[in-house]
Structure 1
Amino acid sequence: MYRGLISTSLFLISFHLLILSQPKPRVDFSGNYFFDKNELLSATSAIPADNFIKWADSLTSVVARLYFDNGFLDCDLTRETEFLNDTIPVLLKLNIKEGDRYSIKVVNIAGDDSSFSGSTGELTRKLEGSDFSSLSLQKYIAELIELYENSGHPFIKVVVESVVRDTSEEQSLFVNIRIEKGAPYNIDRIVIKGNENTADYVIIREIDLVPGEKFSEQKINSIPLKLNRLRFFDPVQIPDYYLDSRGQGVLEIKVVERKVNNFDGIVGFIPPSNDEEKGYFTGLVTVSIKNLFGTGRGTLLRWQKIDRLSNELEFNYYEPRVFGFRLNAGGGFFQKKQDSIYIQNKVDLFAEFPATDEIFFLLQFSRESLIPSILEVPIFTVYNSDQNTFSAGLKIDTRDDPLSPTKGSFFQTTFGSSQKGINGPAEYLTPEMPREYFIKRITLNLNLFYSLFPRQVAMLGINGKHIEGGLVEVSDLYKFGGTRSLRGYRENQFFGSVIGWSNFEYRFLLTRRSFAFLFYDLGFYKRDRNDKLKITGAEEAKSGYGFGLNLETGVGVLNVSYALAKGETFNQGKIHFGIINDF
């Protein structure tokens, strides 16, 4: 008995080892012209090869289906097998006779509504005469469904009843399709859930839908994009559409509100460096209300004490859909005291006209005054001046989410013209000196987003600003450097009449709106020397690189990065930290 068990065990072990020692079967193709060998191998690579006969049958079936789906209805496959030691199959030879490719001669549609015949006819003419493929037929059906869905038929069905060979013409096909459009429906009611603070009318106003409107799949699918741009909610999903017990069409929108009204600040005290000085406070206080009383209006108040002699004060207000029109408007006030050089006051008004859901026209007017500080020892710093600026621009935004895009782009450019009047100081004005100057400004901002792999996003940003004119002073020059432009350097460390920077980030999504990232920044600035205006000439290119973390928190979007300027060692890096203000 034991001898029999031992013999059986040895046989099973030997058989198992024989199976493991068999080489993996290979396949060789011949006669293939439409598909090359790599394409065929890729299409069949997922077939398990543990059983040669099943593997060979599955591979033959996949290749046959691949040719059929691309119009080779007469494709013929034969196969041969090569063995190792006349017992172990190691090579499958697949001989392919492709035959001619069939084309679609006529598409017959049953059940087509006469009101849609023009549109369906246009789609059909594109398909007729083309080479047959399952993919092109599926695309055609999807376009038919989309056409009816966007015209009030949410429950349409499109069925391919048959594909028939044309007996009068070789390699031609008749495709017979039946449309079951179903009854037309409207959006009779709009139900919004989850908006504890935001008023219903704000959401309905933003989605451009009103109760009683005809059902449109395209409009419903665009709702998340429109609501995400408000930045009031977590990423919004496509709403549900259903019929209630009375047969009325109900559109149900679900939102989860973010905390968008924030107060944050930090205050520090700098002690005196000697007995003759006094200490002073520095700090930053920001009050940001992006959804005032749930109406969609926004306001921002910011105060910053930079050092003993410099501070900034800013106030902005935003009004969406002014008087119910497709017009967004706002304005602001900005004051800056720069060391003991000047005080700058600026008031601006802007308007934004949405041409489509993605294209916006921009207009802006600003008035700026510059007042030089009075010094004990008179020296020239800047002219006492007033400046009026008119700007026009264009914005195109195709991002799927403004806070953490995974695809799309953002483009904005503005062109401005300023009239600058010189009022003093009198001791620095000469009779031949003009009292008015014209200044031109151009700005450009382009951000591209692309998801290479799941939960990974590449971002490329390109930015530039240029100013030129008869009298461009230090206060007119553009500044950059730091968290929002060129990391690895101090905030606004560089300034010039021409500045430009690019940012490349590779992001790893932790949640939908939080991510870790690697980055590389490259910047350039140039300014011409002007001894009269106390401007030193400079032209440099700078770069920085590092890593960081972008987190959505209860107080806003927190951005932290560790950056190294070119040539710095690791312990010389800078930590950039801040709450991103998306006002």
Structure 2
Amino acid sequence: MIRRNIKFIFFLLLFLRVNAVSQSESNFVFTGNKIFDSKTLLRNLETRIKKADDDSIISSIKKFYSYYGYYHTDVKIRESGGNQFQIEIDEGKPTFINNIIADGLNEDSTFVKEILSKLDNEIFSAQQFEENVNFLLDYYEELGYPFAAIRIASVYFFDKEDKHLADIYLKIEKGLKAKIDRMEIEGNDKTKEMVIIRSAGISTGEIYSREKINKIPSRLMKLRFFESVREPEFFIDNKNEGVLRIKVKEKQTNQFDGIIGYVPGRESEKGYLTGLVNIGLGNIFGTGRNLSFRWQSENRNSQELEIKYLEPWLFGFPLNLRTGLFQRIQDTTYVQRNLSGELIFMASEDVTGSVSIAHRSTIPTERSVKGFTVYNSTSLITGVNLSIDTRNNIYSPTSGIIFANTYKLNSKKINGPAEYLPANRSFSLQQFEVDFGYFLEVFRLQVLALAFHAREIRGDNIEISDMYLLGGANSLRGYIENQFAGKRILWSNIEYRYLLTNKTHAFLFFDAGYFKRDELSDYKIGYGLGINFETAFGIMSVSFALGKGDSFGEGKIHFGIVNEF
């Protein structure tokens, strides 16, 4: 429910909810009470009573019973001695709703009468009555009447056939239909207003919709540009215009993460650099554009270089264009380069679909000793993807799921080496990718995070350069990066998290993985502990993991910035 400047007015003329003040159970003894037990009555006494003849104790109990539809309750108090009081209660019979007559109905009369008719012959309980009236106020608000009011004009009590009955007369005032004439954005020192407005999912000229407005904070938080987004406010200004006010608090969107090491050479070998450099430029010039650069050297002969760019809202439509350049040098085996593009359609707040195309070239590394490693090949890879993300917090979710399903068709052509060319130089490979995550808050600040991932490639002449890689911080912890390769890989992650802030959590984890390559297959496990915490440069993740059969001294430390691209 959004914060309204004019609160919906709903007067129940006959009911006042009782504010409970505790009273020692030893001071009061209740008799005759069947509907409510003694503890419930004690919790709802209005004030601490010291005198047996104080009328406030009787009034408090009668109001409590009236709230639940018992208007004929009789209460007597007798002093038992020793500061003990006996409260005799004759609960009486409840009052039932005979009829509800609503004034002010028009085109909504059928629906409103249907809701109100559900109360016919029910006990005239303020609690149940309020629930139904609030439901109707929500209904009117969703139709564009945020200032609707429902008032009880009068109530007629009477008895019939030994039953207490009531006819209720309501006054319904919908007010004027509200429209969003203007939007005010506050707190956006860097982000342009048009970036926030287009991502909010609502625009000027639209009829007020509570459902859309309630979704604005989660929609904007998924941009990852803001520390927080407050509940939007809607009000009518002095020009009788509807104003929607959105308040945001921006955060640091540029990231830098790096660690560089130098491994000295031995004998005739030269030394080499190893480490990771990760640079992210988010929300460039406040336009929502993103650029990232990543370099990682795993050892002397293996390294990765990746550049990615995101252009949001292409031509003003809910389409994001993501492009990327990726290069991997694998040992002394091959060099692989990918140039890719992906067009992402934002179908809703939670659902996206995309189509992608990529050109890949694989070049075998020249070696002093001649021999076959991989083919010199080029591939055209097309794909489709469907993603669903209902997490309530992208950094430390306590509920929701994340799901992605991808299919790719790899049209591969072999160009060399000439002496190893097969008879069939062109063929197709199919790739299947599934990712699923589930988050559940089992106790306060304690979250169970479950994830499952699967990859498979099918076809003829599948080389090591075509296979999926497994191992490391983003898949199977406790092993070095990309330690295993397979035509089929599976891995699951189980984390038990303790939330320290809305962006920081400590966790215990257990990972299990499987890979299969021709006749070679194996299962692996990893386990350990870690922490994700907020820094000036982004969310840092650090974990210590042990692989299958590892001693403590053989544990791996995984670290890096959580990807926000």
TM-score per shorter chain, which class?
0.7 to 0.9
Name which of 206, 221, 240 aligns with 2:233: 240
CA-CA distance at 1:424 after TM superposition: 3.6
User: 1:191 maps to what in 2?
Assistant: 184
SS in 1 for 2:228: coil
Report the TM-score, using the length of structure 2 for normalisation: 0.81
Distance 1:340 1:28, change over 3 A: farther
**Residue in 1 that maps onto 2:263:** 270
How far apart are 1:527 and its partner, in Å?
0.4
1:328 equivalenced with 2:320 (yes/no) = yes
Q: Structure 1 residues 377, 28: closer, same or farther in 2, change over 3 A?
A: farther
Taking the aligned partners of 1:238 and 1:23, their CA distance within structure 2 comes to: 43
- Contact 1:347–1:368 (CA<8 Å) still a contact in 2? yes
How far 1:200 sits from its partner (Å)?
1.0
Q: Does 1:464 align with 2:447?
A: no
The structure 2 residue matched to 1:226, chosen from 208, 215, 219, is: 219
Distance 1:306 1:541, change over 3 A: closer
Q: Residue in 1 aligned with 2:494?
A: 503
Match of residue 475, structure 2, among 457, 481, 485:
485
| Cα distance in 1, alignment partners of residues 115 and 158 from structure 2 | 21
Specify whether residues 278 and 134 from structure 1 end up closer, same or farther in structure 2 by C-alpha distance, changes over 3 A only: same
Corresponding position: 1:295 with 2:287: yes
Q: 2:492 and 2:552 mapped to 1: Cα distance? A: 23
- Measured in 1, the distance between the counterparts of 2:558 and 2:185 equals 39
Q: Which amino acid aligns with 1:487?
A: R
RMSD: 3.9
Q: 1:378 aligns with which of 370, 377, 387?
A: 370
Aligned residue for 1:395, secondary structure, equals: strand
Q: CA deviation at 1:261?
A: 2.1
Q: 1:308 to 1:566 in 2, by over 3 A?
A: closer
Provide the residue aligned with 1:581 in structure 2: 563
Note closer, same or farther for the CA distance 1:61–1:387 as it changes in structure 2 (3 Å cut): farther
Q: Which has the higher contact order (CA 8 A, sep 6+)?
A: 2
Q: Does structure 1 conserve the Cα–Cα contact (< 8 Å) formed by 2:407 and 2:430?
A: no
Spell out, residue by residue over 1:159-184, the C-alpha distance to the aligned partner (whole angstroms, 9 max, x if none): 34556667568587644433233333
* Pair 1:450–1:409, CA change in 2 (3 A): farther
- Cα separation, 2, equivalents of 1:491 and 1:65: 69
**Counterpart check, 1:258 vs 2:251:** yes
The Cα of 1:133 is off from its aligned counterpart by 5.2
Out of 539, 543, 547, the position equivalent to 1:561 is 543
Change (3 A) 1:125 1:521: farther
Q: Name the aligned partner's letter for residue 556 of structure 1.
A: G
After superposing the two structures, state which structure 1 stretch, 312-321 or 567-576, moved more.
567-576
Mark the CA change 1:578 to 1:148 in structure 2 (over 3 Å): closer, same or farther: same
- Alpha-carbon distance in 1 for matches of 2:251, 2:419: 56
The one of 508, 514, 527 equivalent to 1:544 is: 527
Partner of 2:10 in structure 1?
none
The CA deviation at 1:71 is 6.1
Instruction: Name the CA distance, whole Å, in 1 between partners of 2:398 and 2:127.
Output: 27
Amino acid at match of 1:520: F
How far apart are residue 74 of structure 1 and its match?
Answer: 7.6
CA distance, structure 1, for counterparts of residue 483 and residue 127 of structure 2: 56
Larger fraction in helix? 1
Distance 1:460 1:300, change over 3 A: same
Q: TM-score, normalised by structure 1?
A: 0.78
Aligned pairs for 1:274-353 (under 5 A) are 274=267, 276-353=268-345
Q: Which stretch has the larger CA shift, 72-81 or 257-266?
A: 72-81
Separation of aligned partners in 1, 2:51 and 2:557: 63
Q: CA deviation at 1:293?
A: 1.6
Instruction: Supply the AA of the counterpart residue of 2:363.
Output: I
Deviation of 1:97 after TM superposition, in Å, equals 7.8
User: 1:65-464 counterparts in 2 under 5 A?
Assistant: 106-112=99-105, 114-124=106-116, 134-161=126-153, 174-274=167-267, 276-431=268-423, 435-450=426-441, 452-453=443-444, 456-464=445-453
Other-structure match for 1:519: 508
Paired residues of 2:489 and 2:516 also in contact (CA < 8 A): yes
| CA distance in 2 between partners of 1:485 and 1:66 (Å) | 58
Paired with 1:295 and 1:322, the residues of 2 have a C-alpha distance of 12
Shift in alpha-carbon separation, 1:52–1:157, aligned structure 2, 3 A: same
Unaligned runs of 5+ in 1: 1-21, 531-536
- Equivalents in 1 of 2:399, 2:57: separation in Å? 37
Q: How far, CA to CA, are the matches of 1:524 and 1:29 in structure 2?
A: 66
| Partners of 1:195 and 1:42 in 2: CA distance | 50
**Number of residue pairs matched?**
538
Q: Give yes or no for contact 1:479–1:493 (8 Å, CA) kept in 2.
A: yes
